[in-house]
Amino acid sequence: MAMLKVKAKNPSRTLRELFAGWLSEGRLSAMLVPVMAKSGAATLALVSDPAKMAEAAPLLPAMAVNAASVVHDIARQKGEAGRVGLLLRPCEMRAVVELIKLRQVDADGVVLVGIDCPGTYKAAGFREVRTKGEEFDNEHAGGQRDYYDSPNLRTACQVCDSSAPSAFDVAVGFLGLDPDKELWLEAGTDKGRVLLEGFDLTGEAPAARAKYLEALKERRLKKAAGTIEKLDKVMRGPEKLVGYFADCLNCHNCMRVCPVCYCHECFFNSSTFQRGLDEHVRTAKRKGLTRMPSETLLFHLTRMNHMMASCVACGICEDSCPAGVGLLPLFKKVSRNVQAEFGYVSGRSLEEPLPLVAFREDEFQAVGESE
Amino acid sequence: MAESKLSGAALVIGGGIGGVQSALDLADAGYKVYLVERQPGIGGVMAMLDKTFPTNDCSMCILSPKLVVAARHRNIELLTLTEVLGIEGEAGDFTVRLLRRARYVNLDKCTGCGDCLAKCPVKLPNDFEGGLSERRAIYRLYAQAVPNAPMIDAKHCLKLVRDKCGACAKNCKAGAIEYGQQDEEVSVRVGAVVVAAGSQVAPTALRREYGHGRYPNVVTSLEFERILSASGPFSGHVQRPSDGRKPERIAWLQCVGSRDESVEKGYCSAMCCMYAVKEAVIAREHMGSVEPTVFYMDMRSYGKDFDRYVERAEKQYGVRLVRARVPEVREDQRTRDLVVRYASDAGAGAERFDMVVLSCGLVPPAEMVELGRRLDIKLDRFGFVAGDNWDPVASSRPGISVAGSFQSPMAIPETVTGASGAAAAVESVLAEVRGKDAVAEELPPERDVRGEAPRIGAFICHCGVNIGGVVDVPAVVEHVKTLPFVVYADENLYSCSGDTQERLKELIREHRLNRVMIASCSPRTHEPLFQATLAEAGLNPHLFAMANIRDQCSWVHMKEPEQATAKARELVSAAIARVVRQSPLPKVKLPVKKAALVLGGGIAGLTSALAIADEGFDVCLLEREAELGGQALSIFTTAEGDDVRARLKATIERTKQHSRIAVHTNVALDGIDGFVGNYRTTFHVRGADKPMEYEHGVVVVATGAEYRQPTEYQYGASDCVITQRQLEEMVEAYRRNPKTERPGSVVMIQCVGSREPKRPWCSRICCAEAVKNAIALKELNPETEVHVLYRDIRTYGLREEHYRRARGLGVVFIRYTPEEKPEVRVEDGRPIVTVRDPILGRRIRFRPDILALSSGIVPRAGAKELAMMLKVPLNADGFFLEAHMKLRPVDFATEGVYMAGLAHFPKFIDEAVAQARAAAGRAATVLSRDTLEAEATVAHVDRERCTACRMCETLCAYRAIEVKVVNETFGTRSAVVNEALCKGCGACAANCRCSAIDIRGFTNENICRELTALLD
């Protein structure tokens, strides 16, 4: 562990210089980082020229796509040119870890650089919030409490309880510290130590950060409990479930943006679900009416069934829903319960086997006559 | 070549799990088999059990498929209600006289519908249920009995006894009841015989003081199995026979009719400790309020994972284990509770229980002794066959082999092992006539239906009144006529009867049907039959679907006929939706290399190699050491007195000289590639640089295990502290040279390093080894003091005789607990042993001349690499893991790979030999074929959809699916199925989120269509 001195009270620039160094010294062939597009949208760029690292916004508190989706698209196989660095928020990193375990990302080809994230803003209207440009990012990182509990944060972020990177090669921390002065660096693996060569990594982890994270987690958990409680009130019985998804347009956006939904082609886009008119009429005849588009509930339940063990609760599905279906609370609740059943936490570690491929004899033994 | 005079058929006596296994192995290896069973149905004792240890599998669920396959096998002729009268001739050419008793039900006509059963007015206690429920005079042995036809109890049938009633005949629409049937005597000609006649549960009269038969709440262990069983007298609800109350305190009393020389049952029945603990666990699983207590003498959990099971029973299920003797059980006449008096180390006690279960041992019944006489084979004083250690499946008469608990007391895995071993023994007698009497399948050429629009024939079955009595069958027929592509629809009284099957074939031709849907009973029992009929009519058998409108419709909705009819309509719609899209599935045929690779040249490897070679196949035997013989090289005698060295030498010589066996020693394996029928192994002899290659169809893993070097009890600190193995060497030296100085006193410590947290298994052989050496020492010099410090003496089965003998000779056995182990220190080069004597209640001290440590058996260090090379699993302890603990004790889940000997688990020579022969029996089921037919319903991967996430790879128990590079140019990877290994279980398909995997015949699309038809 080492502390990185921040130059000119500008942590954002300090990090850019660190990353540019990795590129110019050839430790990385390129690096995926957040940038602000000219349009003002938060997006990502794969930077190979150290000079172009100037466009990166490492502390940008906005997430329009989960970077893991991009990583899935580009890093399925190891490249020839050398390793690519990935600057990832905790939820993005967890998704990448899941994708590595699902063999959709070649771990050898990438270096996972995780960074603290106290929450991101809704992409729509972010430009209006970020009037001060980069100064806003630095300020946000500075840990003003009203930033982190702001109702302007994405719903998922408001109830997120894991604000620090988990299974990283390199971690960059600022929560609980004074990012105007110093940032915290840690190497989690040999791959990470290569990037941090030159730093004295023998230092202790700062207690202030741990304490801060603990308090933040507590606040967020409380809020999450409230959200789920609200959900439980409306979600009682199958009819309510149908109602919950009633607005769904069957656009499948949630599936397309989901970082851990990794099929080449969704089963729900296959011929199995192309039914002839006669079949639809037969269905309609049973009740006199059949809702169109059909199979929306089946789609969501199947997706839920497939993804719950790996869901990282990033909430990008909810952000992308044009009909405003409140996907996050439901997915958060179900994924949390499912993972708890298996003693698994998605993205926590690369070593933990996926629940579906791990056999445990003592799993789900509640059988027999109930008294 | 002149036609051999030998018969190509075999007779298997006994339709329990042992006989069924022998019959299946022989029939699969190209022999005609007569399977003879005294009862009206096969299944034996295993059919009566609820669950099996140590996996808690449902007994009937794992047994029933085997019974169905045996009954349908074209080379197995099932002769139920049949007994052997006599046998003449010799190995290769026997004539067996059989008595076939009348069933009074025509098996060809009976469809098993069961309409006759309820109409019979006679009620009798049901013996199968221990008399806890009733049956009629016409009855089925048990609900899933194979064959499923009932029989008439001639002694109680009103028609047969008094010529009255006749209700069953009146109610049988199939006309299958034949009161005029007579017993008849028939003869069959066979080349060899397997006797797997089983044994009986010890009669409780052996322990009258326990009150079975007088006290209703005292039941036998087998009766308790029925009480636990969902198909049993109380539908699986644990209750007291006296008042139906749920029992809380239940006691198991061990060794009823076992280890009891006073009733001439001196042997240990080998399985009761485990089944009692299992029953206690299952009772507890049924009801958390049950408090089980087991009163036992020694806990004999000597098998693979058994100690773990017992530990879990104690810690997780709260099963109380009390080491005590129980002289008596008394009943409180008012409450019908039972008071168990017992004597333990802590003194005498008495406790009150709601129920008492007697753990009855196994005894060979009088009929078996008579059978032994009729077969002219020798039995021991108890009535067991008890063969030779080096040929445990042989009887005294050549050509007659034995398996199962008629041989000696044994549990299911040993029975199944012996059964496959007995099959191998038959095949060595009849190697030259393999295939001579077996019937090959002949079918008309298959009609090509590709490009045709679906033309479905739909048949709705009445199943007598089973379905027709509830469901409005004509209405369902009208409904099915309205469904798309149905060109013919009709109702059948019995879809499965012979004449209906003939008619079905005609209709297929007449109406050019290219799909068939039958709505009737369970596909489990009837789908293969209907599919065979399709094949006989020239249609691919997969152009078929079944709807079960009986078990899941008319039976469960008996009181709501209208809703049942509505449900039947829906089930039929679903089946039609499915069959519309079924496509013909090709059968994949793969050639077989008719040769075996045997790894390991110890007793197991040598025996396997010889047995396979004697069956008529080539064998390559590889041994890593310079010398053949394995662990047996350091054994001199068995407890039974065999000269191990001489017999081992003879076995090695015969192996080396066998024309079909190539032996290589000093071998290092380089790789094993391929799959069942088509393996290629590369290896080299150390020192020689030329690599060698061998192509083979199967592999036998007989790589053994190792004796553990002790680190405990001052081993190494004194020459007087030695291993049990070294003691045997010393005993041998005394024997050869009577003048050598002998020890005046010997102390032995058992379980050294075994049954410890680090090595939780029992090494199984150490107790008998210690007893063997103790007896030898006493015989050489009765003055020698021998003390054995033990935890449980596990001389199971007939080995109990040696234990008793040792005590008779004055060997002293002192029990210690793992909490209070013996202490050893060395003074002046001599060990001093202190241990607490539980009977005296104080510590005692020995200064023996020799301290011998039984330090157990550990897996071989190289097992892991070999397991990786073969892609087969090891258990948590490092022993090779069989496909199924009970029913596939010799097979790996990977087809074509078998195991034998210590590589599987510690075992005695006779057990290793039996397993080695069994491996040969199993191997022959592959090697006897020219081609292997892969299942048609296998997994299929859509490479476009596959994301190569490799989950399927991890989940496949058969190692049949693997992610590979399928496009070298782009490096594209995809899962690829090895159709020879795939069993079509569907684990991969169910787990594949991308729906890239389909099971042929059960595609995702088809299942979705079926569900849509059902739900919409």
The pLDDT, as a whole number, for residue A273 is: 84
Task: Determine the residue of chain B that is closest to A102 in CA distance.
Answer: B949
Judge whether B995 is closer than 8 Å to chain A, CB to CB. yes
Rounded (10°) angle between helices B766-780 and B724-736: 30
d(CA B846, CA B852): 13
Supply B115's token pair.
């309409």
Name the minimum distance, in Å, from the CA of B570 to any CA of chain A. 12
Question: Is omega for the bond preceding B327 within 30 degrees of 0, making it cis?
Answer: no
With CA atoms as reference, the chain A residue closest to B1012 would be A283
What is the C-alpha to C-alpha distance for residues B677 and B981, in angstroms, rounded to an integer?
10
Chain A residues within 8 A of B947 when measuring between CB atoms: 102-104, 262-264
Q: In this predicted model, which residue has the larger pLDDT, A151 or B764?
A: B764
Dihedral over Cα of A356, A358, A361, A363: its sign? negative
pLDDT in tens, B844-879: 999 999 999 999 999 998 999 999 999 899 999 999
Q: Which two tokens stand for residue B833?
A: 């042993």
Average pLDDT of the segment spanning B666-670: 95
Which has the closest alpha carbon to B304: B430, B423, B417, B400?
Answer: B417
pLDDT (average), residues B645-666 = 96
ipTM of model? 0.90
pLDDT tens column, A62-104: 998 999 999 999 998 888 878 999 999 999 999 999 999 999 9
- Residue B624 near residue B598 (C-beta atoms within 8 A): no
Residue A286 has pLDDT above 70, yes or no: yes
For an interface test with A, the pick among B284, B581, B949 (most A C-beta atoms closer than 10 Å) comes out as B949
Interval B461-493: pLDDT, tens: 998 888 999 999 999 999 999 999 999 999 998
pLDDT in tens, B380-420: 999 999 778 899 999 999 999 999 999 999 999 999 999 99
pLDDT score of B822 = 97
pLDDT greater than 50 at residue B1: no
Predicted pLDDT of residue A370: 45
Cα gap B589→B112, rounded to integer Å = 35
Nearest partner of B595 among B177, B961, B927, B330, judged by Cα: B927
3-class DSSP state of B44: helix
User: What six digits make up the tokens of B289?
Assistant: 């309020």
Contact A265 B947 (CB under 8 A): no
Residue A260 identity: V
> What residues of A are in contact with residue B286 (Cβ under 8 Å)?
368-369
Nearest partner of B748 among B830, B842, B660, B851, judged by Cα: B851
Touching check for B288 and chain A: CB below 8 Å? yes
CA quadruple B143, B146, B151, B155: dihedral sign: negative
SS3 content of chain A, % helix, strand, coil (to 5): 45, 10, 45
Q: Is A102–B285 a contact, with Cβ atoms under 8 angstroms apart? A: no
Residue with the two structure tokens 């060997």: B811
Among the residue ranges A109-113, A178-182, B738-742, the one predicted with the least confidence is: B738-742
Name the residue among B677, B682, B673 with its Cα closest to residue B697: B677
Compare CB distances from B1016 to A265, A267, A282 and report the shortest one's residue. A282
DSSP code of residue B874? B
Q: Looking at the complex, does the CB of residue B334 fall below 8 Å from at least one CB of chain A?
A: no
**Interval B291-334: pLDDT, tens:** 999 999 999 999 999 999 999 999 999 999 999 999 999 999 99
- H, E, C per residue of B362-431: EECCHHHHHHHHHHCCCCCCCCCCCCECCECCECCCCCEEECHHHCCCCCHHHHHHHHHHHHHHHHHHCH
Count of C-beta atoms within a 10 Å radius of residue B246: 15
B206-217 pLDDT per residue, tens = 899 999 999 999
How close B860 gets to chain A, by Cα (Å)? 25
Give the minimum alpha-carbon distance from A188 to chain B in angstroms, rounded to a whole number.
25
Joined tokens for residue B875:
């258990």
Query: By three-state DSSP, how is residue B53 classified?
Result: coil
CB atoms near residue B493 (< 10 Å) = 18
B203: CB partners within 8 A, 6+ apart: B257, B360, B363
Distance CA B698, CA B679 (A): 7
- Nearest-Cα distance to chain B for A356, in Å, is 8
Instruction: Give the C-alpha separation, B780 to B829, whole Å.
Output: 25
User: Closest partner residue to B993 among A279, A306, A371, by Cβ?
Assistant: A306
Query: Looking up tokens 């305190």, which residue turns up?
Result: B249
Predicted confidence (pLDDT) at residue B1016 exceeds the cutoff of 70: no
pLDDT at B440: 84
Q: In chain A, where are the structural domains located?
A: 2-224, 235-357
DSSP letter for B929, please: -
pLDDT at A282 over 90: no
Cα B220 from Cα B48, distance rounded (Å): 13
The sign of the CA dihedral A97, A98, A103, A105 is: negative
* Chain A residues touching residue B576 (CB < 8 angstroms): none
Cα separation of B689 and B407, whole Å?
A: 48
Q: Cβ of B948 under 8 Å from any chain A Cβ?
A: yes
Question: Residue A18 has which token pair?
Answer: 């660190």
Give the pLDDT confidence of B98-122 residue by residue, as tens digits.
999 999 999 999 988 888 998 999 9
pLDDT at residue A369 is higher than 70: no
Question: How do residues B539-553 score in pLDDT, each as one tens digit?
Answer: 999 999 999 999 989
Contact: A371, B949; criterion CB under 8 Å: no
**Amino acid (one-letter) located at A126:** F
Residue B955 and residue A357: Cβ atoms within 8 Å?
A: yes
Q: At what angle do helices A90-101 and A67-74 cross, to 10 degrees?
A: 30
B893 has a chain A CB within 8 A of its CB: no
* Chain A / chain B CB contacts < 8 angstroms: 68
Measured CA to CA, the distance from residue B586 to residue B603 in angstroms comes to 43
Which chain A residues are closer than 8 Å to B991 by Cβ? 356
B877: closest CA of chain A, how far (Å): 16
B995 vs A267, A275, A290: nearest CB: A267
CB-CB neighbours of B622 under 10 Å: 25
Contact B947 A104 (CB under 8 A): yes
Nearest CA of chain A to the CA of B540: how many Å?
24
Residue with tokens 């106290």: A118
**Residue with structure tokens 């409990």?**
A225
pTM for this entry: 0.82
Contact between B285 and A279 using a beta-carbon 8 Å cutoff: no
| Residue with the larger pLDDT of the pair A240 and B901 | B901
* B315 vs A: CB within 8 A: no
User: What confidence tier does B428 reach under pLDDT thresholds 50, 70, 90?
Assistant: very high
pLDDT band, residue B355 (cuts 50/70/90):
very high
B1012 interaction partners in chain A (CB closer than 8 Å): 275, 279, 283
| Domains recognised in chain B with CATH numbers | 1-100+183-199+364-443 (3.50.50.60), 102-182 (3.30.70), 201-362 (3.50.50.60), 456-580 (3.40.50), 592-704+860-932 (3.50.50.60), 721-856 (3.50.50.60), 938-999 (3.30.70.20)
Tell me the percentage of chain A whose pLDDT exceeds 70: 98
Best residue in B947, B972, B974, B1006 for a mutation probing chain A (most A CBs within 10 Å): B947
In this complex, do B948 and A283 lie within 8 Å of one another by their Cβ atoms? no
Q: What is the mean pLDDT of chain A?
A: 90
φ, ψ (nearest 5 deg) of residue B804: -65, -40
Distance CA A146, CA A148 (A): 5
B667-675: strand order across its sheet: B667-675, B678-685, B692-696
- Tell how far CA B53 is from the center of its chain: 11
- Pick the residue from chain B with its C-alpha nearest to A367: B285
Three-state secondary-structure class, residue B91: coil
Cβ contact B947–A262 (<8 Å): yes
Cβ distance of B944 and A264 shorter than 8 Å: yes
- Check residue B118 and give its pLDDT: 86
Which chain B residues are Cβ-neighbours of A286 within 8 angstroms? 1016
